Amino acid sequence: MDKVNLTEGFAKIAEHWRPRVVAELNGQEVKLVKFEGPFIWHQHDHEEELFLVVKGRFRMEFRDRSVDLEEGELLVVPRGVEHRPVAEAEVEILLFEPKGVLNTGNRLDALYTAPLGQRL
Amino acid sequence: MDKVNLTEGFAKIAEHWRPRVVAELNGQEVKLVKFEGPFIWHQHDHEEELFLVVKGRFRMEFRDRSVDLEEGELLVVPRGVEHRPVAEAEVEILLFEPKGVLNTGNRLDALYTAPLGQRL
């Protein structure tokens, strides 16, 4: 039962697009991830995903619109909805989602797919 | 699918100790709450609870120790473990926990027990 300091956690993360698990509760995981640039279009057929901007900003693109997210803003992406995060500069994100969610959802491109359950 | 701005959310909260739901996903709720002073000792027999300090600081007391939490720090309280948050000055907290968790857990003191599922 140790606390997690977000600043210290992000300082340990060098790679972009690789979520790292920092806490687990009720079958859900809290992950830290850094984004930069455009990700790939994907969807999660069975899970909703929460994105909370801890530092920086990014744009969540959907097929029919997009949502600009600033520091201290959060967004829940519904299951089955195609989305693509795009960050013009590096951004620090906290994710909440069920254990075992693959970052690339229905896409398994080797370039971006990160290992599951990787602890920080 | 609207974003939530934490600063704007907390600005709408006047009362202490009354969590307000701002998002729901995968059977879990994201809540905002303001603490000030000592809460009551309680436990959640079936759920784990996550506390993330958005602004300010507080101390989570357990029967055998305590954890000081600063802005940008999070803590997961395991199920079945008695705890009591204490804030010397007002603090803004984001909670993540399963839908339907009562803020006072096994205690039903009218003074503190907040309505379930109350949206902001």
Q: Is A54 inside any structural domain?
A: yes
- Asked which of A17-31, A35-49, B103-117 is least confident by mean pLDDT, the reply is B103-117
Q: Would you place residue A25 in the very low, low, confident or very high pLDDT band (cuts 50, 70, 90)?
A: very high
Q: What mean pLDDT do residues A62-70 have? A: 97
Nearest Cα to A120, choosing from A54, A33, A51?
A: A33
Residues of A in Cβ contact (< 8 Å) with B70: 5
Q: Is B107 inside any structural domain?
A: no
Does residue A115 have a pLDDT over 90?
no
Q: Is A113 inside any structural domain?
A: no
Q: Is B78 inside any structural domain?
A: yes
Q: What mean pLDDT do residues A105-109 have? A: 84
Q: Tell whether A6 is within 8 A of chain B (Cβ).
A: yes
Q: Would you place residue A114 in the very low, low, confident or very high pLDDT band (cuts 50, 70, 90)?
A: confident
Does residue A79 have a pLDDT over 90?
yes
Q: Tell whether B98 is within 8 A of chain A (Cβ).
A: yes
CATH number at residue A89: 2.60.120.10
Q: What type of residue is A68?
A: D
Residues of A in Cβ contact (< 8 Å) with B64: none
The pLDDT assigned to B111 comes to 73
Q: Is A115 inside any structural domain?
A: no
Does residue A78 have a pLDDT over 80?
yes
Q: Is B84 inside any structural domain?
A: yes
Q: Tell whether B28 is within 8 A of chain A (Cβ).
A: yes
pTM for the structure as a whole: 0.95
Task: Say which residue, A120 or B87, is predicted with more confidence.
Answer: B87
Residues of B in Cβ contact (< 8 Å) with A62: 1
Does B7 sit within 8 Å of A96, measured CB to CB?
A: no
Nearest Cα to B9, choosing from A77, A67, A47, A52?
A: A52
Q: Is A90 inside any structural domain?
A: yes
Alpha-carbon separation of residue A27 from A4, A30, A117, A120, B26 (angstroms): 18, 10, 12, 18, 10
Q: Is A21 inside any structural domain?
A: yes
Q: Tens of pLDDT along chain B (120 residues)?
A: 799 999 999 999 999 999 999 999 999 999 999 999 999 999 999 999 999 999 999 999 999 999 999 999 999 999 999 999 999 999 999 999 999 888 998 887 777 888 888 898
Q: Report the percent of chain A where pLDDT is more than 70.
A: 99
State how far residue B29 is from chain A, nearest Cα, in angstroms: 11
- Domain holding B23, by residue range, is 6-98
The pLDDT assigned to A107 comes to 87
SS (H, E, C) chain B: CCCEEHHHHHHCCCCCCCCEEEEEECCEEEEEEEEEEECCCECCCCCCEEEEEEECCEEEEECCCEEEECCCEEEEECCCCCEEEEEEEEEEEEEEEECCCCCCCCCCCCCCCCCCCCEC
Report how far residue A111's alpha carbon sits from residue A30's, in angstroms, rounded to the nearest whole number: 23
DSSP chain A: ---EEHHHHHHT--SSS--EEEEEETTEEEEEEEEEEE---B--SS--EEEEEEES-EEEEESS-EEEE-TTEEEEEPTT--EEEEEEEEEEEEEEEETT--TTTT---TTTPPPTT-B-
Q: Tell whether B26 is within 8 A of chain A (Cβ).
A: yes
Report how far residue A25's alpha carbon sits from residue A69's, in angstroms, rounded to the nearest whole number: 26
Does residue A85 have a pLDDT over 80?
yes
Query: How many domains are there within chain B?
Result: 1
Complex prediction ipTM? 0.94
Q: What mean pLDDT do residues A45-58 have? A: 97
